[in-house]
A and B are shown apart, each in its own frame.
Chain A
Amino acid sequence: MVVFDKPKSLSPVPFHYCPGCTHGIVHRLVAEVLDELDLCGKTVCVSPVGCSVFAYNYFECDMIEAAHGRAPAVATGVKRTHPDNIVFTYQGDGDLAAIGTAETVHVGARGENITIIFINNCIYGMTGGQMAPTTMPGQVTTTSPYGRDRRIQGSPIRVCEMLSTLDGVAYAERVAVNTVPNVKKAKAAIKKAFQNQIDKKGLSIVEVLSTCPTNWGMTPEAALEWVKTDMIPFYPLGVYKDADVKELNPTSTKEVNE
């Protein structure tokens, strides 16, 4: 018999996410990983401003709600204070790749030994569907009503590709949660990103291609299909970097000093 239980690291409350939104799936995957690695008691999660702003209601670990885009800096402060805590940020595309770009790039440059779960849904979900830094060319949003024109609104940022150029980044993988096999791969990537932190390997980021049926103006099924037909071709799945940069990350300085 298979019993489908709620992971212990998830709080026993209903999510506020829209029907068909994949934020909920990713929360569950993170919680399962925290359970399997027995990390909940030493974990501090830094949640963003975006649809996942209420994440502090959903995870059972200690929680900090950061300002829009600043989660990587807040996480740095926590990790440098308690290097033995497991610290992760959970951020949307507007949070991580627009207002928080500097924080994102520099947390990578410093090789902070933390884990970033990055929800790329090509849109600003929380504020009602405005253009994001990851909005696709031609994609209609409330602030690109004629479709994103790369000559006017610029081109989308491919975060994993960009971050994998930084020496301090240990691991960057892009996954999707649009099919069961992809969900399994996503979980494996998230688990690796936490295991890397345990192993003090350096910054790990998992970019999850996610849906926003509400602001894409699609049914949940159509949204999952759009991930396959439009997003994945533009944001190819896969591992962009997998290196052990232990000697470059702050966790190693303590050992050097000792």
Chain B
Amino acid sequence: MAKKVLMKGNEAIAEAAIKSGCLHFFGYPITPQTEISEYMAKRMPKVGGLCLQAESEISAINMIMGAAAAGSRCLTSSSSPGISLKSEGISYIVGCDLPCVIVNVQRGGPGLGGIQPSQQDYYQATKANGHGDEHVLVLAPSSVQEMAQLTSEAFDLADIYRMPAMILADGALGQMMEPVDFDVMSKRDVPEKTWATNGTEGKRKKNIINSLLIDPVELENSVIARFKKYDEIAEKEVKYEEYKCDDADIVIVAYGITSRICKTAIAAARAKGIKVGLFRPITLWPYPKKQLGALADKAKHFLVCELNMGQMVDDVKVATECKKPVSFFGRTGGMIPSPDEVLAEIEKLAATL
């Protein structure tokens, strides 16, 4: 049996990255994800890699752009305000079709906000990482084990599809300690990086990494080609978990740390005879539209639970084609609901069905 190690979520991400062959980490300190930088600073020199503290998140993401262009498996991590600074670079990296992994251990906002856990960057992550028609893969872990596992999957996905993959976590997952098994890392075949800028050696034509396409026809074609790739990803790479949905009248839709609170509330509700289940999107982009939509014929009501003011509600309405009512319960600004608060919301809804 595989040996499990007790670790903080942030450390699990860092170790999983190293185990996935990541040799370059560029970051800038910000709570609640600084443990990733600190772990990398300790470990990278021991494995022949590099952990470099940049002068800002802007520089860190552009160092990533350079390392990715040069063919490295590279990682950067930050928390909400720092991700905003990275957004310019993310857009360029998408425009250049470069693979990399970006971690956002979310905290409350807007502005400097607070340092407590949140899911307030859902829109930013899934709809508008940067300017332009673009997407990045978004994976939302809900345990320390998944922090590790999804990080290793993110590296493979990024390389396979030549685009950034984001781990969208939160301060609670980053700080909590749980046992992790590193033997179950992703090991997919990834294409060779023949496009990398690492010197022609006089043996091939020059490689150009570029997002500038001044001719609108060319630019349109390149965006359309990227969206074809997005369609393929939506078809093949969607991940989700269904929990007690088969007979559920109420389906809670929640991801990340919130999904765990909901599971506790679901157990309590079931003990009281209320048929409630959980649908947990693991990929937030691509969104498991079809799979959630399939529940709309059986369930009577969808309840979205998040640590924000309801950013995922629209996605649930679209996925379920508004066939059944969709309501929202959440806390924001770094507050986390207790299972009892979620249970009360479930009971209130059950009384109306």
Contacts and interface: CB of A to CB of B under 8 A. Distances in A.
Contacts, number: 136
B200 A61 contact: yes
A87 to B, nearest CB: 8
Contacts of B26: 77
A86 B66 CA distance: 13
Contacts of B208: 56, 62-65
Interface residues of A, number: 36
Interface stretch (A23-31, A40-48, A193-201, A211-219): A40-48
A40 B202 contact: yes
Contacts of A60: 200, 206
Contacts of A70: 58-59, 62, 65, 89
Interface in A100-114: 102-103, 105-106
Contacts of B70: 44, 77-78, 81-82, 85
A152 to B, nearest CB: 28
Overall SS of chain A's interface:
helix
Contact of B50 (A59, A74, A80): A80
Contacts of A257: 45
Interface in B47-72: 50, 52, 54-56, 58-60, 62-72
Contacts of A74: 62-63, 65-66, 69
A103 B199 contact: no
Interface residues of B, number: 41
Most buried by B among A40, A65, A257: A65
Contact of A81 (B67, B96, B209, B211): B67
Nearest to B50: A80
Interface of B: 24, 26, 45, 50, 52, 54-56, 58-60, 62-72, 74, 88-89, 92, 96, 197-203, 206-212
Given A60-B200, A103-B55, 18 more contacts: A41-B200, A41-B203, A54-B212, A62-B207, A63-B206, A63-B209, A64-B66, A64-B96, A73-B62, A76-B59, A78-B197, A81-B24, A81-B66, A81-B67, A81-B70, A85-B70, A102-B55, A103-B59
